[in-house]
């Protein structure tokens, strides 16, 4: 009899929303009009200048491996982006290009977490973060957070939950699923708290650029030793190109380069050449127009859901999600989501995908559909609430 699969594989939980997505696809195949508010992927196609740059790269034969750290020109372009957007001087040598933000997380967790050690993570939070830690035989200490702390870790929580097996804290700003942002003071407090324990601060800045009415500060503004995860998927709209980056302290770069060489050799070369166009003025203009559109969507959907009775205690400042309390309606989140999918053909995500803290009483809406579709979604939700409660 074959040996069972690894304990690490069995310990990694599936996305519960994938069962809902499979059912949504079945309904679509049967001819139903399904509104998708469950997937964290912008509805916009990759901006034309980026696509054109990718096509030119293919035509020029840029299909071979690059250096493990990534194209020098792209690392220099990212360095220039930090200078322009944040006023920071980041040596391109500190930047590694990765296969998506997931590649950056894989490098950071492989470098910083020994077996049996863990990072502190906010609960609710992006589930893959804890799963990557399990993959490297480490773990996640989930810290329950709510609206009273903006759904974020802070210095006091780091002090309260740090133990002898803690080696760092991973925070996200803007965060998934809540869209909340850490300001400079909060980042500085987290930096001081982790350094006091000789730990590492790792910051997911994947949704930077997608903030509304403000700009999110980078943790590098207050902590030059922080590890920064970022991606071309969200603000830059390159989800399928699988490209991200990691900014790390200079001393860590040789070890990270060695890991990159062994784990994935290099990020996709065509995607790297295409990403050079991300920082052109004409591309940034397109991306900023899209940011404004996301703001309009948030400003419509947030009050509309509140009026229907959903509890949204904190106005999200970034990303493209609304994390809503459904306690008023009773029932559990998965059954609630299933009801709306089956009766109204609208898909959104149960809170159980994002952790354990009050997860069964929350759902996440992704406003990654056009305003007319969101208007239709609200009408369907209002109708579905009547049948849910009826």
pLDDT digits (tens, 9 = 90+) for 76-113: 999 999 999 999 999 999 999 999 999 999 999 999 99
Question: Does residue 390 surpass a pLDDT of 60?
Answer: no
Q: Say whether the peptide bond before residue 177 is cis (omega within 30 degrees of 0).
A: yes
Residue that wins the pLDDT comparison between 240 and 4: 240
Give the three-state DSSP class for 150.
coil
Distance CA 116, CA 13 (A): 19
C-alpha 7: how far from chain center: 26
Model pLDDT, residue 17: 80
- The model's pLDDT over 24-73, given as tens digits with 9 standing for 90+, comes to 999 999 999 999 999 888 899 999 999 999 999 999 999 999 999 999 99
**Mean predicted lDDT score pLDDT of the chain:** 96
- With a CB cutoff of 8 Å and minimum separation 6, the contacts of 315 are 302
Distance CA 52, CA 194 (A): 43
Using 50, 70 and 90 to split pLDDT, how confident is the model at 21?
confident
Model pLDDT, residue 14: 82
HSE-up of residue 159 (Cα within 13 Å, Cβ side) = 7
- How is residue 116 written in tokens? 């049996």
Question: Does residue 202 surpass a pLDDT of 80?
Answer: yes
Give 49-83 as a DSSP string. Answer: HHHHHHHHHHHTT--S---TT--HHHHHHHHHHHH
Give the three-state DSSP class for 258.
helix
Q: Say whether the peptide bond before residue 138 is cis (omega within 30 degrees of 0).
A: no
Domains of the chain: 7-45+283-384 (3.90.1150.10), 63-280 (3.40.640.10)
pTM: 0.95
């Amino acid at each position: 009899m074959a040996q069972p699969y690894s304990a690490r594989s069995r310990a990694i939980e599936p996305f519960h929303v994938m069962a809902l997505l499979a059912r949504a696809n079945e309904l679509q195949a049967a001819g139903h009009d399904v509104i998708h508010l469950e997937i964290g992927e912008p509805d916009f196609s990759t901006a034309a200048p980026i696509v054109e740059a990718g096509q030119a790269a293919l035509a020029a034969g840029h299909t071979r491996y690059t250096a493990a750290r990534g194209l020098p020109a792209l690392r220099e372009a990212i360095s220039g982006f930090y200078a322009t957007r944040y006023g920071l001087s980041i040596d391109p040598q500190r930047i590694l290009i990765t296969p998506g933000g997931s590649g950056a997380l894989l490098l950071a967790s492989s470098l910083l977490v020994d077996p049996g050690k863990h990072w502190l993570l906010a609960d609710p939070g992006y589930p893959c973060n804890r799963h990557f830690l399990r993959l490297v035989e480490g773990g996640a200490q989930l810290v329950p957070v709510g609206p009273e702390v903006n759904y974020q870790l802070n210095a006091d929580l780091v002090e309260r939950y740090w133990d002898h097996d803690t080696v760092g804290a991973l925070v996200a700003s803007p965060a998934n699923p809540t869209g909340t942002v850490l300001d400079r003071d909060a980042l500085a407090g987290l930096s001081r708290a982790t350094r006091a324990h000789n730990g590492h601060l790792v910051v997911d800045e994947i949704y930077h650029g997608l903030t509304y009415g403000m700009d999110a500060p980078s943790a590098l503004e207050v902590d030059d030793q922080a590890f920064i995860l970022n991606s071309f998927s969200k603000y830059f709209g390159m989800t399928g190109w699988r490209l991200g980056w990691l900014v790390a302290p200079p001393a860590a770069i040789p070890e990270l380069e060695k890991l990159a060489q062994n784990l994935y050799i290099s990020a996709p070369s065509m995607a790297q050449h295409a990403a050079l166009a991300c920082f052109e003025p004409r591309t940034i203009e397109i991306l900023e127009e899209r940011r404004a559109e996301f703001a309009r969507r948030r400003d419509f959907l947030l009050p509309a859901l509140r009026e229907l009775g959903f509890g949204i205690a904190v106005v999200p400042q970034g990303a493209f999600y609304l994390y809503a309390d459904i306690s008023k309606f009773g029932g559990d989140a998965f059954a609630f989501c299933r009801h709306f999918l089956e009766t109204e053909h609208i898909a959104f995500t149960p809170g159980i995908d994002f952790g354990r803290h009050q997860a069964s009483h929350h759902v996440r809406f992704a406003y990654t559909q056009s305003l007319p579709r969101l208007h239709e979604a609200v009408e369907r939700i209002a109708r579905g609430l009547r049948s849910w409660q009826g």
